[in-house]
Amino acid sequence: MLVPQINIVIPLYNESEVFHLLVERLNQLMDSSELSIEVILVDDGSKDNTALQMVGLAQSDSRYKAVLLSRNFGHQLALSAGYSVVNASEAVFVIDGDLQDPPELLDSFYSKLKEGYEVVYGVRRGRKEHWMLKAAFSLFYVIIKRIAYIDLPRDTGDFALLSRRVVDVLNTMPEQSRYLRGMRAWVGFKQTGLPYERPARAEGETKYRLRKRLSFALNGIFSFSEAPVKWISSLGMGSIGLAVLYFIYTLIKRFFTDEVQPGFTGLLFVIILFSGVQLVCIGILGEYVLRIFFQVKGRPLYIIKDVVSKNKSEEAR
């Protein structure tokens, strides 16, 4: 295929159940769309036969390319690997493999791009998650809105159409702790949101367990905010102030009244409280130090084992 106008990048991890549905929908889209499209499927070290299905497809259909990672690197890195092999002239469309991001919306995203926007992201109108998860998401957005130095739009995911230029910029950002939707907001350019109804997963189950979600959220916060470190200083100042006040209070009591301070329990309480506070503070510092640690090692973000496409195998022959 000549250089396509659009790449669709899709990270997949153990998605063999939904794979045929995904391909069906993509084929329909490509058959009916005016745009020339090449799909980049990224296998994030699946343990089922997702990779096999992918390779088979890429070998028989030149509109698909399969990128195989050497192991499971996680959604964000799989997506980054996909970004690194794009070849589209105009834009890159990012969707999840479970059809929660309807591929058919490409045309409406594309028309926004034609209006001059370089980032068009999907905004989830109806979330189908459990109410507790929804509450946690809301809390997360409140926090990040207040403390982060990016303007992260609410209820957005990685579902977006990015101009080729924006993807090129993202590819130059070497950070290890990747929170792509934050990085996308950070790069600037003209951005806009497009509301859509987010359906439930077509097949299979979510690959994001609670712990993974939590560490993802922490990445969002610690990669885009210095507020937590600043809090530590304020907290330290606050407790010094408190201690001084308490000291003055005991002195006054000692010299101007006959009362003896029954200080022992109070003391214990203060010690325990502030040891706890100190541990939390060290933990917060640790989050930043960890990110520095990983960055300084300078390891590659992901390892691409193989790239399979019909053209390539024909070239090889």
| Interface pick for Mg ion out of 100, 176, 191, 309 (rule CB under 5 A) | 100
Pick 90 or 96: Cβ nearer Mg ion: 96
Rounded Cα distance between 313 and 306, Å, is 12
| Interface pick for ligand UDP out of 149, 208, 293, 294 (rule CB under 6 A) | 208
Q: Is 15 in the site for ligand UDP (CB under 6 A)?
A: yes
Q: What is the CA radius of gyration of the chain?
A: 25
87: partner contacted, choices ligand UDP, Mg ion, none (Cβ within 5-8 A by kind): none
H helices of 117-226, in order, are: 131-147, 164-171, 180-186, 210-224
CA 88 to chain centroid, in Å, comes to: 23
Cα–Cα nearest to 50, from 9, 13, 98, 10: 13
Q: Is 309 in the site for ligand UDP (CB under 6 A)?
A: no
216: left (phi over 0), alpha (psi -120 to 50) or beta: alpha
| Interface pick for Mg ion out of 15, 38, 98, 155 (rule CB under 5 A) | 98
The contact pattern for ligand UDP, residues 47-86, with x = CB under 6 A and - = no contact, is -------------------------x-xx--x--------
Q: Is 101 in the site for Mg ion (CB under 5 A)?
A: no
Cβ-based neighbour number of residue 80 at 10 Å:
23
**Shortest distance (Å) from residue 213 CB to ligand UDP:** 8
| Interface pick for ligand UDP out of 96, 124, 161, 225 (rule CB under 6 A) | 96
CA 69 to chain centroid, in Å, comes to: 18
Q: CA-based angle 160:164:166, to the nearest 5?
A: 70
Cα–Cα nearest to 182, from 212, 225, 127, 234: 225
**Shortest distance (Å) from residue 203 CB to Mg ion:** 11
Q: What is the maximal distance between C-alpha atoms in the chain?
A: 99
Pick 20 or 254: Cβ nearer Mg ion: 20
Pick 36 or 72: Cβ nearer ligand UDP: 72
- Label the pairing between strands 91-94 and 156-163: antiparallel
Cα–Cα nearest to 13, from 160, 208, 211, 200: 208
The contact pattern for ligand UDP, residues 104-143, with x = CB under 6 A and - = no contact, is ----------------------------------------
**Shortest distance (Å) from residue 78 CB to ligand UDP:** 4
**Shortest distance (Å) from residue 160 CB to ligand UDP:** 14
Which residues in 267-296 contact ligand UDP (CB under 6 A)?
Answer: none
Phi, psi of 36 (to 5 degrees): -90, 130
CB contact at 8 A, 163 and 90: yes
The binding site for ligand UDP (CB under 6 A) comprises 11-13, 15, 44, 72, 74-75, 78, 96-98, 100, 201, 206-208
Binding-site ranges for Mg ion (CB under 5 A): 96, 98, 100, 201
